[in-house]
Amino acid sequence: MKKLLASLSAVVLILGMFAPSVFAKDHADMAKVRGLHASPDAPAVDVYVDGNAVVEGAEFKAATDYMELPAGEHQVEIYAAGTKGSQDPVISANVNVEAGMAYTAAAINTLENLELKAIQDSMEAAEGKSKVRVGHFIPGAPAVDVGLVGRDAIFSGAEFPMVTDYKELDPGTYDLEVRTTDGTQLIDLSGTTLEGSKVYSAFAVGTADNPEVLLLEDSAAMPTSMPKTGFGGANDSNALLAATALGLAAMGAGFVIFRRRSEA
Amino acid sequence: MKKIWFPVTLGFLVFIVSFQLLKDEPAKEARVLSSSSPKNTEVTNIGTEWVKDDLESAPIKKNYTPATVVGENDGTGIRPDRIVIPSIEVDAKVQAKGYTKDGGMAVPDSVTDVGWFEPGTEPGRRGNAVIAGHVDGQYGPAVFFDLKKLQSGDELHVYDKKGNRLTYTVQEVVAYPVDQAPIRKLFGPTNKKALNLITCTGTYDKSAGGYLERLAVYTVLTDRTKA
C-alpha cells in the first residue's frame, strides 16, 4: 500500500510539472522619469534618487533617457558633480510618481535660483499624427511664440518657466522659429522634420543672448504587444517523448533484473 | 507480486528525472545569445568617461543614457522591399504591416515573407525600424528559422524597390520571455539608426497557441549604397 501511495505522489509530481509557469516580474507599477539640465550657469551635476546615483556628470543641455522608478514618493537630490559627501545638494526635493506615467524633471533657472520642475509627458500620439509641445526654460527671456517663419504662431505667449500643452500637427518638414511675441526671431528652426505617431518636446534653453532649442523625441509608434511569429510546426520540444521512452526502458530493465533475481 | 512496484517506480523516477533534464524550461529572464560588448548590454549607456568641467577644473565622471534628440543628421529612410542575410541564407520579400486589431504588430500570413512595422521608423533614418518574420509555419521552418544563429558582427542588407541598399551590422541577439520583451527598446525612440529583427523562439505553448519567447536581433546601420 505504501508503494501505491509513493506511485500516486509521483503522478502528482508529474502533473505538477505541466502547470503553467507564472512570470513574476511586473512593469505595471513603474513610472518613467527623465532628467533635463536647463540651468545655463549651473555646473555639471550628479542626480541621486533615494540615495542612489542615477545620473552622473550631466552638464547644461544634457537630457537623459527615461529611467524606470517604482510608483510612489522618492527623494531626489542633485549635487554639483562629484561633491556628494563634501557639499550640500543644490536641490533636494521629494517627488511623487504614478504608475504608468512618464515625467520630465528639469533643473531650471539660474544657479542662484535653481529649482526642480516636474512635468508629465505624453507617451502616445494619434496614429499618423505628430504631437509637439514647447517649454520655455530661458531665465530672463521674454514670452515667446513658436510658429512657421513669418506666419501665424502655433504656440503663442509661452513664458518662463512654462510648458505648453501638446498640439497635434500633420507630420512633415516645417520651417519653424521661436520669436518674441512682437515678431523678433530668437531661434531659427528651419527644416524641422516631425514624423507621424511621434511625440516631441521642444525645450528652449540657454540665456536671452544665447538661446537654443533641444528637440526631444518622447515617444514613437509602438505596438501594445510583440508580433506572433510562429505556429509551432518546427518546435523540437520532444522532451516528453524522450523521457517516456527512457522511463519505459528503465521499467523494462527493472523487470528483467527482478525476474533474473527470482529465477536465481 | 509486490515486487512489481520496484521496476514501475524505477521507471517513473527515470521518467521524472529525464523529463526535468530534457525539457525546455521557459526562460524567466532575458537570455543574451550574442553580444558585441563584453557584458549584458540590457542597460546601454554612453559609458563612463572623464571630461573636463568648465567651471571646476577637476575631471568629472559622466555616466547616463542620453535622451533621444532630433538632429540634422537623422538620415533619409527607404521603404524596404527585400532583406538579405547572407550568413543564414535569407533572401525575403518585405511587406509593410501595421497594427493588429488589438494594437499589436501585424505580421504577414506568408511564412516566406517578412513584415516591416510601417507606422514606425523607415530603415535608414534615426530610430528603431522593425522587421518581424515567422520562425516556423504549421508544418516546418519559416523565413526566420535560423535567426538565432546570427552573431554580433554579422551583416545584413535591406533594399528598396529601386535597389538602394542599406547595410546593418548585428550588435546583440537576445531572447525574452514574451511578456517581458522591451517594446520601447525595440520600437521606441533612439539616437541610433537601428533595425531590429524579431521572431519567435523558446517553447511552443500548444494551449496558448504561441511561442513563450521572442528573439530580438539588434542591428545598426553601417553602410549605404545608392542604386
How close is the nearest chain B Cα to the Cα of A169, in Å? 16
Percent of residues, chain A, with pLDDT higher than 70: 87
Pairwise CB contact (< 8 Å): B132 & A17 = no
ipTM above 0.85, yes or no: no
Higher model confidence: residue A191 or residue A20? A191
Query: What is the least distance, in Å, from the CA of B180 to any CA of chain A?
Result: 8
Task: Please indicate if any CB of chain B lies within 8 Å of the CB of A239.
Answer: yes
* Interface contact A221, partner B, CB < 8 A: yes
Return the DSSP state at B42: S
* Facing B127 at nearest CB: one of A7, A220, A243: A220
Number of C-beta neighbours around residue A133 at 10 A: 21
Copy the grid coordinates of residue A52. 542612489
Q: Closest partner residue to B12 among A7, A230, A262, by Cβ?
A: A7
Interchain pair A230, B135: CB under 8 A: yes
Q: Is A216 exposed, middle or buried (0-12, 13-18, 19+ CB in 10 A)?
A: buried
Q: What is the mean pLDDT of residues A162-166?
A: 96
Q: Which residue of A has its CA nearest to B62?
A: A57
Strands A172-180 and A144-148: antiparallel
Q: Map out the domains of chain A as residue ranges.
A: 29-121, 124-221
CB contact under 8 A, A247 and B142: no
Contacts of residue B4 in chain A, CB cutoff 8 Å?
Answer: 258
DSSP A205-251: EE-SSSEEEEEEEEE----SS------STT----HHHHHHHHHHHHH
Q: Average pLDDT for residues A5-14, to the nearest whole number?
A: 50
pLDDT, residue B24, reads 57
Low-confidence ranges of chain B (pLDDT < 50): 39-48, 51-56
Average pLDDT, chain A: 87
Tell me if B5 and A4 make a contact (CB, 8 A cut-off). Answer: yes
Joined grid coordinates for residue A134:
514647447
Q: How far does B136 lie from chain A, in Å, by closest CA? A: 5
Domains, chain B, with CATH or none:
27-41+51-67+76-225 (2.40.260.10)
Where is pLDDT greater, at B138 or A264?
B138
CB contact under 8 A, A243 and B15: yes
pLDDT value of residue A12: 47
Per-residue model confidence (pLDDT) at position B74: 86
Fold: same for A29-121 and A124-221: yes
Q: Which of B6, B48, B102 sits opposite A258 (nearest CB)?
A: B6
- Which pLDDT does position A234 carry in this prediction? 82
- pLDDT of A89-143, one tens digit each? 999 999 999 999 999 999 999 999 999 999 999 999 998 999 999 999 999 999 9
Dump pLDDT digits (tens) for A39-66: 999 999 999 999 999 999 999 999 999 9
Q: What is the dotted CATH code of the domain comprising A124-221?
A: 2.60.40
Matching CATH number, A29-121, of 1.10.20.60, 1.20.1250.20, 3.55.50.30, 2.60.40.1120: 2.60.40.1120
Mean pLDDT of A172-184: 94
Coil vs helix vs strand at B15: helix
Instruction: Report the residue of B13, B15, B51 to disrupt the A interface, i.e. the one with the largest count of A CBs within 10 Å.
Output: B15
A126 CB near a chain B CB, below 8 Å? no
In angstroms, the CA B156 to CA B161 distance is 17
